[in-house]
Amino acid sequence: MIHLSNKKTIDNLSLEEKVGQLLMVGIPGHAPDPIIERRMTQQKIAAYILFRKNTPNVSITQSLTHQLQIMAEKAGIAPLLIAMDQEHGRVIRIDKGITRFPAAYGLGRIGNPGYVFNACKIAGQELRALGINVNFAPVADINTNPENPIIGTRSYGENPFKVAQLVKQAILGYQSAGIICSAKHFPGHGDVETDSHLALPVSTKTIKDLHETELKPFKSAISVKVPVIMTAHIMFPQIDSEWPATLSPILLTGLLRNELQYDGVIISDDLEMKALNQSGPITDLSVKMILAGCDMLIISQNLTCDVSIDAIFQALLNAVQNNIISESRLNQSVERILKLKQKVQQKLSPDIINHPDHAAVSEKMMREIFLENPHSRHFPVDTQPERLLIISDISEILNICPGIKTNRLLLTPDQSLKTYQSTIAEMDEIFIFLSRISYLPALESLQFTKNQNIRFFSLNNPYIQSKIQLPLTSYINLYAECLPLATFNGLIFANFDANK
């Protein structure tokens, strides 16, 4: 029996135990190993984040979370915070054996607050049944920049008021499920053109601009007591000319803590992201983050794996011992984290995972997203398999119609499609499933005939339609996997007889 009632208080924690509370780290595989045991017993790290490499299916995930909590109980640090990014849509860490829900942008397109609440409540319940007690969702960013490579359909949309309303419902849904959730990425990642995993994005927004747009969803989240807010690795030189948001006392302490009166846990985005590279050594930055206002730091061990957890732990410990971080400042963060851990609840029954009732709720949402598009009336098609071609930059898409064995074209970088011109000319029906705008020029270099039906499905970028120069028969935005492949078959190829 795992006891989820942490009786430790700030007064009976050693300095090492306090520093261990500040870190959330990744694990290497499907089970705890000696390194994780050392993290718990010596460094007292009591928060872990899981990725796809850890969660290939339901049974392995349940076993892993159970073993982690057992190990934590023996180390005297239970309950652990066990987190993942399960946003719905394209950012998910487990997709097999659980209920899949539409991406945020798809739900935003419907605009039904009850759908968002129900999707997050059900998803939260299934995560709890897996032993996950923290979900880094919802995304509170507003998708205002067409060139944004990282947010897109992870956002509920472009309208700040609508996004704020749906973010609130998402948080209420997760809270109803008994799971800790997090609004991200403060103060807003929607209006940049750089992926912070790869480089440091820069925004020219002023404080006034943020209040008019980006901050509205975060204010809404704070109004319903969102327990965690995640920072963005973004530079706002009009606000802080020296430090990105994750390192900025102006944004984290001045704006988020003091002005917006947020009293929950502030957690950094992953310290392995390359946006931080130009700001200095990561050990120095970890100390700066705590001084700026962060309570917890994520080191995923999932991206570059060149950020040392041991070095960061020692840097934080040294900073407290040398009074660079005062013990009173350390205690502020530890108290918030211990308070957060009081929200951890027992696992739910595994019987609810992928329950038929949950699947029915999800399918209703997905069908509504698909069918609300006026072009959906064009489906299903009635074409001979040898006269139908599927083109995509996502390999799994090529298998959505079992009857199409040979007429499948996977787009790859720097590929010339002119060699396929004769094949394309023989097709009556062409289905294009595209996630990246970068492939449009190659497609537009081809010659299509007036008699061909070209059906275009956007899988990722909601702005892609404005850039297409193809003679489309129909265009449907599927909002980044808000319709899983099985649903594609049911909706798009429902009456398609592959053996005809």
Query: Out of 197, 211, 355, 375, which one is annotated catalytic?
Result: 197
Backbone angles phi and psi of 432, in degrees to 5:
-115, 115
Count of Cβ atoms closer than 10 Å to residue 474 Cβ: 17
**Cα-based distances in Å from 130 to 27, 82, 182:** 17, 10, 18
**Cα-based distances in Å from 332 to 243, 291, 339:** 22, 11, 11
The β-bridge partners of 180 are 134
> Distance between CA atoms of 483 and 492, rounded to whole angstroms?
11
Which stretches within 76-206 are classed as H helix? Answer: 104-110, 113-130, 160-177
Which stretches within 131-233 are classed as H helix? Answer: 160-177, 207-212, 215-223
> Distance between CA atoms of 422 and 465, rounded to whole angstroms?
26
Does residue 358 have an active-site annotation? no
> Distance between CA atoms of 283 and 268, rounded to whole angstroms?
14
Does residue 269 have an active-site annotation? yes
Number of H helices, E strands in the chain: 16, 13
Query: Out of 85, 191, 240, 269, which one is annotated catalytic?
Result: 269
Do 46 and 99 touch, CB atoms closer than 8 A?
no
Give all strands (DSSP E) within 4-137, no chain letters.
23-26, 47-49, 81-84, 134-135
Q: Is residue 458 helix, strand or coil?
A: strand
**Cα-based distances in Å from 454 to 4, 251, 306, 457:** 56, 48, 46, 10
The residues carrying an active-site annotation are 197, 269
